[in-house]
Amino acid sequence: MASLHYREIDGRSGAYAALLAALGALVLAGLAAAWTMEHQGHHITGMTNRIVWGLPHVFAVFLIVAASGALNVASIASVFGRELYKPLARLSGLLAVTLLAGGLAVLVLDLGRPERLIVAMTHYNFKSIFAWNIFLYTGFFALVAVYLWTMFERRMNRHSARLGLAAFVWRLVLTTGTGSIFGFLVAREAYDSALLAPLFIVMSFSFGLAIFVLVLMAACRWTGRPLGDAVLERLRKLLGVFAAAVLYFVAVYHLTSLYMTRQHEVERFFLWDGGIYTALFWLGQVLIGGIVPLALLFGTASRRALAAAALAVILGGIAQVYVLIIGGQAYPQLMFPGKDVSSSFFDGVVASYAPSLPEAALAVGGVALALVLTALALKVLPFLPRSLADGELAA
């Protein structure tokens, strides 16, 4: 591989200023939404005492999971020694940090009383997976920051492989912890499965790589940097494998539940008569997030098809997380297994939920925050090579 030369983006064009202005407006709208919900109360949202995690949680979990997967490109370069991915490692680490920052910002602002975060950081219940996630998320920030330092500082390059391995293991544990938040909830029949941990890991690979592909293509095109077909071909095949793996694990997850008699009603809800959740599962998660990307990725090698497939994976991923989080709460909770219970409090009734405007603004604001941080970082530090042309990269 020829000597790589990294360079910051110029960032003086009107288009760059317009991009920052548009994303900044979305961030401010998200902050305004959080302030409104904080002062007016969550009664202005679609959330209730049955649906306590709404649309902001969907986007927060999606961004957190994608942050772990965005680091996959850097891991392939440093851990598995694939030189072709090495020029992309810096951008991979950057997206891992910015996506996690956007997801955690939404998470903190959505829970209410964000100033009490210090309590969660100083008082721990180690029987709770949420307590462990405090260490996992902050540790991920620190580890990836040091990992990026070893890439930027020539004297520290020799430590990059070891830091990459540590970051690779840490992100697997982090994503396992995020999936276990739901897998350990035995009170919810729609969750309570050890398969959610590996499913979340595969989801992170797919979602993170899809976002990475779109950011890479956009950054190179808007800054006039050559982007060869060799890089995109590898990313195309990799994204196809991850999208297929997500479909496989989703099938295993539901087939496992169908094998257990007590889970038949839950599966009937999601797969057949769950209304919006069934539609999002088959049309959003399976069709848009799985079948369409596979057809685009393995049917043609064009750049537009790759971009469309990556966008489809992202949209399908949001639908998948929505079905999991919102649908899992909407399904009637079984309070006393094996017993007949009768009361006036919506026994056996599917909970209704409709996202409100403040929830949508906060959710989109988190995505905008991640993109703003990415755009600013690309201007300040040299995360991208001057050229990714085919002749300058090794196989």
pLDDT, tens only, 115-174: 777 777 777 777 777 778 888 999 999 999 999 999 998 888 888 899 999 999 999 999
Tell me the pTM.
0.94
Rg (Cα) of the chain, in Å, rounded?
21
Instruction: Say if residue 196 is exposed, middle or buried (CB neighbours under 10 Å; 0-12, 13-18, 19+).
Output: buried
Residues 144 and 97 sit within 8 Å (Cβ to Cβ)? yes
Q: What is the mean pLDDT of residues 355-373?
A: 97
- Encode pLDDT of 88-124 as tens digits: 999 999 999 999 999 999 999 987 777 777 777 777 7
Dihedral angle, C-alpha 286, 237, 199, 139, nearest 10 °? -130
Which of 317, 312, 326 has its CA nearest to residue 269?
Answer: 326
Q: How confident is the model at residue 3 (pLDDT cuts 50, 70, 90)?
A: low
Q: Give me the CATH number covering residue 269.
A: 1.20.1630.10
- Encode pLDDT of 35-57 as tens digits: 999 889 888 999 988 899 999 99
DSSP symbols for 41-90? -GGGSS--SS--S-HHHHHHHHHHHHHHHHTHHHHHHHTS--GGGGGGHH
- Encode pLDDT of 272-294 as tens digits: 998 999 999 999 999 999 999 99
In the prediction, which pLDDT does 222 show? 92
395, pLDDT greater than 90: no
344 in a structural domain: no
Q: How many CB atoms lie within 10 A of CB 48?
A: 14
Which of 317, 352, 324, 364 has its CA nearest to residue 109?
Answer: 364
Give the separation between CA 363 and CA 366, rounded to whole angstroms.
5
**4-18, 92-106, 313-327, 368-382 — which is least confidently predicted?**
4-18
Which of 6, 374, 1, 2 has its CA nearest to residue 154?
Answer: 6
Residues 72 and 208 sit within 8 Å (Cβ to Cβ)? yes
Give the separation between CA 70 and CA 307, rounded to whole angstroms.
16
2, pLDDT greater than 70: no
Average pLDDT over the chain reads 90
Q: What is the mean pLDDT of residues 356-370?
A: 97
349 in a structural domain: no
Q: How many CB atoms lie within 10 A of CB 335?
A: 11
365, pLDDT greater than 80: yes
1 in a structural domain: no
CA distances from 394 to 59, 77, 231, 386 (A): 37, 12, 10, 16
Residues 384 and 223 sit within 8 Å (Cβ to Cβ)? yes
Residues 353 and 46 sit within 8 Å (Cβ to Cβ)? yes
Give the separation between CA 377 and CA 56, rounded to whole angstroms.
25
293 in a structural domain: yes
- Encode pLDDT of 224-273 as tens digits: 999 999 999 999 999 999 999 999 999 999 999 999 888 888 999 999 99
3-class DSSP state of 7: strand
336 in a structural domain: no
Q: Which domain holds residue 185?
A: 6-331+356-392
Helices 89-111 & 196-223 angle (0-180, nearest 10): 120
Q: How many CB atoms lie within 10 A of CB 263?
A: 17
342 in a structural domain: no
Which of 95, 101, 326, 64 has its CA nearest to residue 203?
Answer: 64
Q: What angle do CA 243, 246, 249 make, to 5 degrees?
A: 150
In the prediction, which pLDDT does 1 show? 47
Q: How confident is the model at residue 347 (pLDDT cuts 50, 70, 90)?
A: low
Q: What is the mean pLDDT of residues 335-340?
A: 68
Q: How many domains does the chain have?
A: 1
368 in a structural domain: yes
337 in a structural domain: no
Q: How confident is the model at residue 344 (pLDDT cuts 50, 70, 90)?
A: low
Which of 7, 161, 144, 131 has its CA nearest to residue 69?
Answer: 144
5: left (phi over 0), alpha (psi -120 to 50) or beta: beta
Q: What is the DSSP letter of 224?
A: T
